[in-house]
Amino acid sequence: MEVKSRAPGKIILAGEHAVVHGSTAVAAAIDLYTYVTLRLPLRSAAENNDRLTLQLKDLSLEFSWSIARLKEVIPSDSSTSTPASCSGEILKSIAVLVEEQNIPEEKIWLSAGISTFLWLYTSILGFSPATVIITTELPYGSGLGSSAAFCVALTAALIASSISDKTRGEGWTCLDETNLELLNKWAFEGEKIIHGKPSGIDNTVSAYGNMIKFCSGEITRLQSNMPLRMLITNTKVGRNTKALVSGVSERTVRHPDAMKSVFSAVDSISKELASIIQSKEEIPVTEKEESIKELMEVNQGLLQSMGVSHSSIDTVIRTTLKHNLTSKLTGAGGGGCVLTLLPTGTVVDKVVEELESSGFQCFTASIGGNGAEICF
């Protein structure tokens, strides 16, 4: 039996980091996906191939565990129909299984992803032998939500494998609301392993798609009433969301009052941004774009004050400003990707040329597309 799934990456238009501390944020799905193929052998064949294999196709890596070894290390009662957090104890046991795979040193950042894979797989499907093939169009660890797309796409395939009504040949289809909610909860548990303390915005926008306003787990789907074009620039500076998120938390412990004001300002920015995007009033687009530009500028200043910007991000901001364009980091920062608002009529050639001559990589992505989908 074979099931395929895909889940999109995202951009955060406003509110990253502050959203972890209860502020509002606005995010949109982009048309870059992580794809999962799940192959479950027939029961008779399963007896001869008693292994769980994970292939990361675009990295040319394969990891494989015998089912007996998984049973030896992971408690059998960890499989459950309700999403649950991976305890520190189980995570330690899973880490042993990951270590045994001898991940190449330069790819050691994959460990958290592979631990997450083992937790989600064994929790949802138990100890069934299978081959799981994953490919992604998203850059890893760059602020475009590769971790969430990975958790969402993987969970979508695992849940889809137990759907009894498998209509084949229909192409990509959405999951029903109940399964979508279940999927989002599991993906959040996966994100916890990778991020430490995620807000849940990344897995939610990857699962549901479109554009959302998100605050303390509450989701509002946004209907954009204006064209919104963003240039995405990847600084290619590697960073790790978990470390950046915990850095902001540490700063908050040291300066609770000051940081409370920062988070409150971000909350206002995200709410105002959401209302501009949705506004049905007869305001000229140029005026809306000017407001968004200013809000992005203020948001970037606040991200700077949280300590999550980077000199490479500053370079992108300075370069785009020369072309009268405004930018802010997106995702966890510390390098990674930067968003530049492209007001109606902007020609990007010159700015892209200048950014790419500094070694950055630029692309535009379609904003607000579908969320998780499955295919039989």
Ligand X SMILES: Nc1ncnc2c1ncn2[C@@H]1O[C@H](COP(=O)(O)OP(=O)(O)O)[C@@H](O)[C@H]1O
Among 8, 83, 190, 331, binds ligand PMV (CB under 6 A): 331
Lay out the site mask for ligand X across 258-297 (x = CB under 6 A, - = otherwise): ----------------------------------------
Lay out the site mask for ligand X across 25-54 (x = CB under 6 A, - = otherwise): ---------x--------------------
Least CB distance to Mg ion at residue 134 (A) = 15
User: Is the separation of the CB atoms in 205 and 27 below 8 Å?
Assistant: yes
Least CB distance to ligand PMV at residue 23 (A) = 10
Which candidate, 312, 307, 330, places its Cα nearest to that of 254?
Answer: 307
Among 15, 141, 209, 368, binds ligand X (CB under 6 A): 141
Q: Rule CB under 6 A: is residue 373 a binding residue for ligand PMV?
A: no
CA atoms within 13 A on the CB side of 366: 9
Q: Rule CB under 6 A: is residue 17 a binding residue for ligand PMV?
A: yes
Main-chain phi, psi angles of 106, to 5 degrees: -70, -10
Two structure tokens written together for 121: 């797989």
Give the residue with the Cβ less far from ligand PMV, 65 or 188.
188
> Which of Mg ion, ligand PMV, ligand X, none does residue 112 bind (CB under 5 to 8 Å by kind)?
ligand X
Name residues whose C-beta falls within 8 Å of residue 173's C-beta, 6 or more positions apart in sequence.
Answer: 167, 373, 374, 375
Residues 101-140 binding ligand X (CB under 6 A) are 109-110, 112-113, 134, 136, 140
**Is 165 marked active-site?**
no
Spatial separation of the C-alpha atoms in residues 364 and 144, rounded to whole Å? 13
Spatial separation of the C-alpha atoms in residues 259 and 249, rounded to whole Å? 10
3-state percent breakdown (helix, strand, coil) of the chain, nearest 5:
45, 20, 30
Give the residue with the Cβ less far from ligand X, 136 or 327.
136
Catalytic residue IDs: 202
